[in-house]
Amino acid sequence: MPTFWISYTEISKIVGRRPEPVEVVGTGSMYPSLYWDEVSGGPEKSSTEGVLEYRSSPKMYRYFEGVKFNNKEYLKPVLGYGDMVAFSSAKTREILEKEGKNVNLGFIKRVIGKAGDTIELRDGYVLRNGAVIEEPYIRTARSTYGGSSLAECVKVTVPPNSYFVLGDNRKVSSDSRFDLSFVGDQDIQYYLPLSGQSIYHSLWRDTKSDADLSGTSTLNSADFYSKLPNLKSNKKLEKSSSARASALLNNESTTYKLENALSDAGYKNIVTGEFVIYGHFTADELWENMQNNYDTKAQLNNPEYDDIGISAVLRDVAGCPTQVIVGHLGGYVPATYEESMRESWSNAKTNLSEVIPSWEKAVGVTGVDQDKLSELLNLLRAKQALVDEVLGVMSRREWMSDELENRLRQDEANSKRASELAKELSGE
């Protein structure tokens, strides 16, 4: 979805020599440079999305198409890497219409690639003509992931008279990675050269350590947990989420499902949920991403959940570094058992309390096969212990664990054997 758009006036036919304020309205795709100011009104709730929108008024130059003379263009600005551009096109109008917004609004983004450049997104970085570009203006290092128009580890060449543009807050920006695709030169109305953005330098990052982050996860789980005071971090759920993340990267998601991972991790007696997000995220970015998504926000606020475990797994998939973040949520829901079921197990307890002592009287009696008797008593006592355990689970309103259910299935064979032994011993 577009998270930054602009409102603008008709471009003058006269070349703009001085920058002028351009109203920017959006959810933060050009953060930290364009955030909000008091003059523009600051943040406010969007009536269409229910999320915070921000207003800013950067001073930008009108983009003049130039004058042609003797088949040559004069006075036309030459855009450079890192320049901000404000534009409107058929694509922006289509995107805004889909979202029920004013189609006359435009977008504002940053020039990353020009005609003839090859762009690639890999391991969270942006590569231009094969080299990782330095980006002090983006919100966090190594935060760029692919989209519908440009997937990760795929190279694309910018066509003539076009630009590849990105927002600075890569997690919330609708740009050339997605439906927007390339921006045509004819669609640009305003621009602000990188050299004229010194006013924002204090808001930008130090990029010295960006290269050192390659091949590592940017997510700090503890920082993410701290944002969820109503949920407790759970080691078993961390284990299950890690196992599921590995299965997803290994293309085994259909054979190794959530329930498999939870069972292997030993997390029982629960109601569970799962969220899956691809890409590189810090704790703050992941939190914002999930809060801006109805489904994941609902998951985090679901009162049925008590525990959470989250894992970020980074792996090379077909030559492309890929990270998947999996979160597992779990909560306890008391079990309910029908009264007839409780009564049946209570009767079994009463019956065993009478049967076992009667067979114990035969211990040491001449003519009674003591080996068979011993086997029978062991089976009956094991049954008695199982009955007591089941009744305890029922009284505590717990769910039957997988281990207990397995023992109950085995008990069917044991009960059959006990009946056979009782008949044989009674006939002696």
pLDDT at 19: 87
H or E segment to which residue 382 belongs? helix 370-395
User: Are 85 and 190 within 8 A, CB to CB?
Assistant: yes
What span, in angstroms and rounded, lies between the C-alpha atoms of 90 and 84? 20
Q: pLDDT of 227-255, one tens digit each?
A: 999 999 999 999 999 999 999 999 999 99
Query: What mean pLDDT is reported for the chain?
Result: 88
Query: Could you tell me the two tokens for 353?
Result: 């309390």
Q: At what angle do helices 339-360 and 370-395 cross, to 10 degrees?
A: 150
What span, in angstroms and rounded, lies between the C-alpha atoms of 146 and 155? 11
Least confident segment among 102-106, 310-314, 390-394, 423-427: 102-106
Residue 326, pLDDT > 90, answer yes
pLDDT at 156: 97
pLDDT at 7: 47
pLDDT at 164: 98
pLDDT at 38: 58
Least confident segment among 53-57, 201-205, 288-292: 53-57
Mean pLDDT value of segment 350-356: 95
pLDDT at 65: 72
Q: pLDDT of 33-76, one tens digit each?
A: 987 665 555 666 655 555 566 778 889 999 987 666 667 766 78
Give SS3 for 325.
strand
More confident position, 402 or 201 = 201
**Sheet with strand 307-317: strands edge to edge:** 232-233, 307-317, 320-331, 271-278
Residue 410, pLDDT > 70, answer yes
pLDDT at 9: 45
